[in-house]
Structure 1
Amino acid sequence: MAPQKMRDDNLSENHFVADILDDVASLLNQQNASVFRVRAYHDAASYLRGLPHPVRLDYQHGGKRGLDDLPTIGPSIASTIAEVLDTGSSGLLDRLRGAADPEMLFQTVPMIGPALARQIHDGLGIDTLEALEAAAHDGRLATINGIGPRRVESLRHSLTDMLARRRPRQAPRDRQQPSLGDILAVDQVYRSNVDRLPTIKPRRCNPTGDIRLPILHTERNEWQFTAVFSNSPTAHRFGKTRDWVVIYFERTDQPEGQVTVVTEHGGMLDGKRVIRGQEKTCIAHYEALENRHLQSQ
């Protein structure tokens, strides 16, 4: 290939990535995300279109850090660019469009086929590779039938290799997440405003196209949140599509994470909103709230 043609092809990739960033910005704007977040994606897209060299070179030489160092490219957008350069698509864009397919995404990981991908998604209620990696480290993945200790360890290594360049240099087990109070507050705001929120039309579990899911973008204490009702096959099977809320969160120094908030039935937490898999922490949270209430009387 002639040098000029190769250069033109490489720079066209910049425009391809920029188009995806612009699409993200447009959807965030339609879904009432913060003006700052919308502008950040548009500004990053404009910068990439004017970049005189292929952005892939920055990624190849410095990983996600090499993208972070570019003007107007913050950590969250750097993660999006890295994913597009690695896969040709953006999970964030798919989610905003209602086109996300977690089971297909999980099948990009070695040793995960269609049946296991379905088990993981249904059993753990997770949608991203980052959440899958977290589950491999905190013990949840080992609860899936057919996944023994050796397979979990192999999946950990595969996910580390796949995600290493896209995130801050930080061990998965050292990741932080928003306070439980902030997560439950976002859940409350979401469920209290479903009739006033913009909606997306998911492609999965929506054969007639009639399902519309309210979506919330908000910020609390330096964290960015997106909340949406679960549209998983399990949520449909148990009639929980208006109870289970999936909350995605990220911060400039933390990769994206997600939790599912549900109404607990039975036991000490009966009738309360809890984060699935963090029931013990929720008990402590509600006990602390009750103690503060009693002390204030």
Structure 2
Amino acid sequence: MPELLRTTTPDTGVKPMMTLATKPLPENIGVAAKLRDFADLLDSQGADGFRARAYRSAADVVAKLERPLGEILAKEGRDGLVALPAIGTGIAGAIAEIIATGRWSQLERLRGEMEPEALFRSIPGIGPQYAHRLADEAQLESLEDLENALHSGALHIKGIGHRRKEMLAATLAERLGRVRLRTTPQPQPLPPVSMLLDVDRMYREKAAAGELRKIAPKRFNPKGQAWLPVLHARHDNWHFTAFFSNTRLAHELAKTRDWVVIYFQAEGQPEGRCTVVTETRGPMAGKRVVRGREDEKQLKEPA
């Protein structure tokens, strides 16, 4: 299979000048440090240098800001962040998550430290039981995942009724720096199924050949073994990160070497996620398919 293309067109939009801080602001310095840590991990895991440079540029901007990031979010929402140099929609979302929770799911994922249950327990009204079900049954990883599931109507957890969903949506809107609640879900661009299957194939081939950096996930890994390969790739305007699934269900069904979770992000867009599996039923049995997009044209290739 040919290597994925590695060309992209950077954003050339001109943004307004920012006011530099006369002395560092602790909140901003902390966020900048996380952005730089993320860039360092991208480099160490073989990601394309363009993406790492983008996060370092954003870190430089954040560290020099005169206003606290939390103040910008509170008064202007994410639009206030996107108006800053070097900060697009995706990085603005990361900053909002860090300010709201002190954590960043993308960074924790690359470190193997992802613990979504702890994140969900930080939401008022969500105790250990619901946090566990949001992570394992609904397969959610971040506050943005939860917010999107609420707005799209995709969240179906027993005990979380209409009133509680409204309260959760309002809480998330405030914590994630929304100026106002969205009344309808915003459509997110999706990479073609064929492109996702290319990434899936590349990941499994490189993992089998031992060519990928491995991380030691914190969940379901009592011995702390570095067993989980990670792939970073680019195709046109898309960035991809792929892992074998490390969910409770994947372990219970012995699918940790079959199910591949692919995170994708177009330039200036929020991150999305899909899972590629080997179909076990119907005319596509034995073929790789993108879950949730079975009705679209899939490459009929064997697993």
The question of 1:269 aligning with 2:281 is answered: no
Which of 216, 235, 238 is residue 253 of structure 2 equivalent to? Answer: 238
AA in 2 matched with 1:106: F
Deviation at 1:250, TM superposition (A): 2.0
In structure 1, how many angstroms separate the alpha carbons of the residues matched to 2:181 and 2:44?
A: 29
Question: Unaligned stretches of 5+ in structure 2?
Answer: 1-21
AA in 2 matched with 1:25: A
TM-score, normalised via structure 2 length: 0.80
Map of 2:196 onto structure 1: 183
Paired residue secondary structure (1:205): coil
- Taking the TM superposition and a 5 Å limit, the aligned residue runs for 1:78-227 are 78-142=92-156, 144-165=157-178, 171-194=184-207, 195-227=210-242
**Does the 8 Å contact 2:203/2:231 carry over to 1?**
yes
In structure 1, how many angstroms separate the alpha carbons of the residues matched to 2:227 and 2:270?
A: 28
Which range moved further: 200-209 or 262-271? 262-271
**Does the 8 Å contact 2:244/2:257 carry over to 1?**
yes
For residues 255-295 of structure 1, give each alpha carbon's deviation from its aligned partner in whole angstroms, at most 9, with x where no partner exists: 2221222111122221122233x1xx424413xx67xxxxx
**Does the 8 Å contact 1:269/1:283 carry over to 2?**
no
Which of 241, 259, 270 is residue 255 of structure 1 equivalent to? Answer: 270
Q: Percent sequence identity over matched residues?
A: 45
Deviation at 1:148, TM superposition (A): 4.4
**Does the 8 Å contact 1:168/1:253 carry over to 2?**
no
Deviation at 1:150, TM superposition (A): 4.9
CA 1:167–1:40 in structure 2 vs 1: closer, same or farther (change >3 Å)?
Answer: farther
**Does the 8 Å contact 1:65/1:168 carry over to 2?**
no
In structure 2, how many angstroms separate the alpha carbons of the residues matched to 1:141 and 1:55?
A: 31
**Does the 8 Å contact 2:136/2:249 carry over to 1?**
yes
**Does the 8 Å contact 1:180/1:282 carry over to 2?**
no
Deviation at 1:97, TM superposition (A): 0.7
- Taking the TM superposition and a 5 Å limit, the aligned residue runs for 1:8-87 are 11-87=25-101
Deviation at 1:249, TM superposition (A): 1.7
In structure 1, how many angstroms separate the alpha carbons of the residues matched to 2:227 and 2:44?
A: 15
Relative contact order higher in (CA < 8 Å, ≥ 6 apart): 2
CA 1:268–1:160 in structure 2 vs 1: closer, same or farther (change >3 Å)?
Answer: farther
CA 1:29–1:253 in structure 2 vs 1: closer, same or farther (change >3 Å)?
Answer: closer
Question: Unaligned stretches of 5+ in structure 1?
Answer: 1-6, 291-297
Bigger share in helix: 1
CA 1:261–1:134 in structure 2 vs 1: closer, same or farther (change >3 Å)?
Answer: farther
In structure 2, how many angstroms separate the alpha carbons of the residues matched to 1:215 and 1:17?
A: 24
Deviation at 1:158, TM superposition (A): 4.1
Map of 1:285 onto structure 2: 297
Paired residue secondary structure (1:258): strand
Which range moved further: 105-114 or 95-104? 105-114
CA 1:105–1:61 in structure 2 vs 1: closer, same or farther (change >3 Å)?
Answer: same
